[in-house]
Structure 1
Amino acid sequence: MSDWTAADLPSFAGRTVIVTGANSGLGLVTARELSRVGATTILAVRNLDKGRAAAAQMSGDVEVRRLDLQDLASVREFADSVETVDVLVNNAGIMAVPYALTVDGFESQIGTNHLGHFALTNLLLPKLTDRVVTVSSMMHLLGYVSISDLNWKARPYLAWPAYGQSKLANLLFTSELQRRLTAAASPLKALAAHPGYSATNLQGQTGNKFGTRIWLAGNRLLASDADFGARQTLYAVTADLPGDSFVGPRFSMLGPTGTHWRSPLARDRAKAAALWALSEQLTGVEFPL
């Protein structure tokens, strides 16, 4: 553990970084700080106007491109537009929203938070030079990944368990990706990070008025700011860490940044392999290395 902050970022001159969901919250701060230290930063966003407004707050070489993680055709189009990239930050996400389906018929939280990023990562792997960092959450502790019902067709839909499933899927994905990279003798690394409890726009978009009031009150009383949350991602982007590291604050919500523990379910190698196989089947995208 250390008192590392974004002020300790090394130069990223000559390097290219993609940050999904970079128009607000943790993604905006992550992209802003990487562009500040010289990275060519691609803001991968669904809403181009919001992306351009975010880019206007940043210095350096910043580009805005459209990416809708709820539409696999958009994911493929975005990946095709990328020539080379050093770091991919899978940051975008939705949290505890009412039941909805993506363009491709996936439950929206698993579709956005996991399957969209799964497809994007595998499509970009041949163009990557350094690492993939995926933003998970301590809410993975609520999660159980159902291989037989990933998209909540057989179970009554529950927004928070669905969010927990998607965040647990992020960790299983990271572990299996690193296992495959190692087996392929690839120098690439797969890492995950969690922000603790950071006040962002996610808490105001649950679609539940009562729940939103509780979360916004919690933001005022308990949460850290987005700069603190993004610090965990930035450390995972830059630190010399082993593959499959999980970065977060020492005390889960607050404290110095470093490697963090994960639940026993997040360490289930058989479940990670099964989720990977199912994700390939659902997205039609396979490990390319």
Structure 2
Amino acid sequence: MSALPTFAFESTAEDVATALADNIRGKNVLITGTSLNGIGFEAARVIAKHANLVVITGYNAERLKLSEDAIKKDIPSANVRRLTLDLSSLAAVRKAAAEVNAYPEPTIDVVVHNAAAAVAGFKLSADGYESQIATGHLGPFLFTKLIAPKLLSAKSTARVVYVSSGAHAFGPGVTLDLLRKPDESKYTPVGAYAETKAAEILTAIELSRRSDGKILGFSLHPGVILTNINTAQDSIPVMQSIGILTADGKPNTKDWQWKTMAQGAATTVAAAFDPRIASSPGAYLDDSKIATDTVAEHSKDPVAAQKLWDVTEEILGEKFVF
């Protein structure tokens, strides 16, 4: 096999998937948050060119069908399966996990946790948790735990990828208050986003450690991208307040270097399949390469990772068994 290329800021998901085609071939992959005009969709599309199966998920069945149709129109041979999954609801997570565990395929080789709640005003989930932390941490944690038998059955070590963000550094890390007792008077949309993204990095680290390498966790910064999350009507004022969007709602290209959707999905594909990172479980990627040294200290602290894991298990009443 020829040497793999070095990926960069400009690399697209297509570039990375083509280079890693041998590593994708035969794999069963599940990606959350795959609506059109999002990086989850673009990652699913390019992976579907090579994988054995791509399971796309979303809470809206109609939008999920649109994504499936778009992938199959582009790649008629793609084996795509829809899974309705609302990560903000623990009951919905349990139902979806049971469906995955009933699949005829004995393994899920890669899970990509890409779904996110809107960065907007204070909102509680059906279970009484703050919506961003529920969708970005609690739901993915429970879902991964429940389908762990499928991951542990993978022939080559399974990977769980968390699409985090460089914005994890905007806050103090995981305070646990957002999990234990969400307080609207102390809530800020950006603060909740930063804490959720920090939780994703810490979970990738601790998943790798607790599984003793039986499952490899990775997290990543996709880049600054104009997606359906930061252009949602209730997110626009927040994006304007931190300078991502200008006063007229356009991308702020003066202060930020933007990626296209294709470039934004590239690091997801690298984290899911690049064999060169397997020896660095728990690593954080940026521009499709390991960039753990850029992570804020609070989000790579092993003690914080252990504490978050323990508290999450306590809240969910579920012990992760490997």
> TM-score w.r.t. structure 1 length?
0.90
**Deviation per CA, 1:15-68, whole angstroms, max 9, x where unpaired?**
210000012301001111110113300011101111110111112000111000
* Kept after mapping to 2: 8 A contact 1:97/1:205: no
Pick the aligned partner of 1:197 from 220, 224, 228: 224
CA separation in 1, counterparts of 2:260 and 2:100?
32
Q: 1:149 to 1:35 in 2, by over 3 A?
A: closer
Which residue in the other structure is 1:270 paired with? 303
Which residue in the other structure is 1:237 paired with? 272
> How far 1:279 moved relative to its partner?
0.8
**Segment of structure 1 superposing worse, 205-214 or 61-70:** 205-214
Pick the aligned partner of 1:247 from 267, 277, 285: 285
Which residue in the other structure is 2:289 paired with? 258
> How far 1:209 moved relative to its partner?
5.0
5+ residue gaps, structure 2? 1-5, 102-106
Q: 1:44 to 1:208 in 2, by over 3 A?
A: closer
> How far 1:8 moved relative to its partner?
1.5
> TM-score w.r.t. structure 2 length?
0.81
* Match status 1:36 vs 2:49: yes
5+ residue gaps, structure 1? 250-256
Q: 1:273 to 1:56 in 2, by over 3 A?
A: same
* Kept after mapping to 1: 8 A contact 2:118/2:235: no
* Kept after mapping to 2: 8 A contact 1:42/1:62: yes
* Kept after mapping to 1: 8 A contact 2:54/2:81: yes
Which residue in the other structure is 1:254 paired with? none
One-letter identity of the residue aligned with 2:318: V
CA separation in 2, counterparts of 1:78 and 1:218?
36
CA separation in 2, counterparts of 1:274 and 1:172?
10
Alignment of 1:67-78 (within 5 A): 67-78=85-96
CA separation in 2, counterparts of 1:210 and 1:41?
35
Pick the aligned partner of 1:62 from 76, 80, 86: 80
> How far 1:205 moved relative to its partner?
2.0
CA separation in 2, counterparts of 1:177 and 1:155?
32
CA separation in 1, counterparts of 2:66 and 2:252?
24
- Secondary structure class of the residue paired with 1:166: helix
Alignment of 1:1-289 (within 5 A): 2-3=7-8, 5-6=15-16, 7-11=18-22, 12-24=24-36, 25-58=38-71, 59=75, 60-83=78-101, 84-128=107-151, 129=154, 130-143=158-171, 144-150=173-179, 151-153=181-183, 156-182=186-212, 186-205=213-232, 207=234, 210-211=237-238, 215=245, 216-218=249-251, 222-240=257-275, 241=277, 242-249=280-287, 257-260=288-291, 261-289=294-322
> How far 1:225 moved relative to its partner?
1.1
One-letter identity of the residue aligned with 2:86: D
* Kept after mapping to 2: 8 A contact 1:175/1:190: yes
* Kept after mapping to 1: 8 A contact 2:130/2:178: no
> How far 1:155 moved relative to its partner?
5.3
**Segment of structure 1 superposing worse, 167-176 or 146-155:** 146-155
- Secondary structure class of the residue paired with 2:21: coil
CA separation in 2, counterparts of 1:148 and 1:113?
15
* Kept after mapping to 1: 8 A contact 2:164/2:201: yes
> How far 1:159 moved relative to its partner?
0.7
Q: Percent identity?
A: 29
RMSD: 1.9
Q: 1:279 to 1:15 in 2, by over 3 A?
A: same
CA separation in 2, counterparts of 1:248 and 1:15?
23
> How far 1:284 moved relative to its partner?
2.3
> How far 1:219 moved relative to its partner?
6.0
- Secondary structure class of the residue paired with 2:251: helix
One-letter identity of the residue aligned with 1:141: A
CA separation in 2, counterparts of 1:38 and 1:62?
10
CA separation in 2, counterparts of 1:208 and 1:188?
34
Q: 1:41 to 1:219 in 2, by over 3 A?
A: farther
- Secondary structure class of the residue paired with 1:41: strand
* Kept after mapping to 1: 8 A contact 2:162/2:220: yes
Which residue in the other structure is 1:253 paired with? none
* Kept after mapping to 1: 8 A contact 2:208/2:214: no
